[in-house]
Structure 1
Amino acid sequence: MARAALRWGVRDLARNADVTPTTISRVEAGKPAFTGTLQSIRAAFEAAGLEFIDENGGGVGVRFSRPRSDLT
């Protein structure tokens, strides 16, 4: 969902998180990953302007932390 919001492909996320595209594919397939890898991926999304939403009865998700027009 986060990649789609940013219109990023696997390689875009891998580059921004400083991991390999294979690592991104493994994580998205639900395979285990090191905590540091997951933190790098989250940091890349947050640096791009996304905010993670905790479970609040409506489910977890992501949203832009500021208007999308401010991100360019």
Structure 2
Amino acid sequence: MARGLLNWSIMELARNAGVGHSTIKRIEKVNGVLPEAQVSTLKAIHRAFTRTGVVRFEGTTGVLYIPPRSEVPE
């Protein structure tokens, strides 16, 4: 869902998070519930999204995209 908001491919998310694309594929295949995923990997993915303005609603699966000020029309 968050990746779709940014129109990122799996490769783009992997590059921005600094993780392997196969890791992203495995995580997405199981809807983010991958017990063997390293906490550091999940944090890296989270940072990649938050740097772009994607925020998650606590306690839900919902996300919101808040574009940087430079992208907001006046």
The secondary structure found in structure 2 opposite 1:28 is helix
Match of 1:38 in 2: 42
Count of matched residue positions in the alignment of Structure 1 and Structure 2: 67
TM-score by length of 1: 0.81
RMSD, matched Cα: 1.8
Match of 2:4 in 1: 4
TM-score by length of 2: 0.79
Runs of 4+ in 1 over 6 A off after TM superposition: none
Identity %: 40
Match of 2:22 in 1: 22
Match of 2:61 in 1: 60
Q: Which blocks of at least 5 consecutive residues in structure 2 are unaligned? A: none
Q: Find the aligned partners of 1:35 and 1:52 in 2 and give their Cα distance.
A: 17
Q: Find the aligned partners of 1:66 and 1:48 in 2 and give their Cα distance.
A: 7
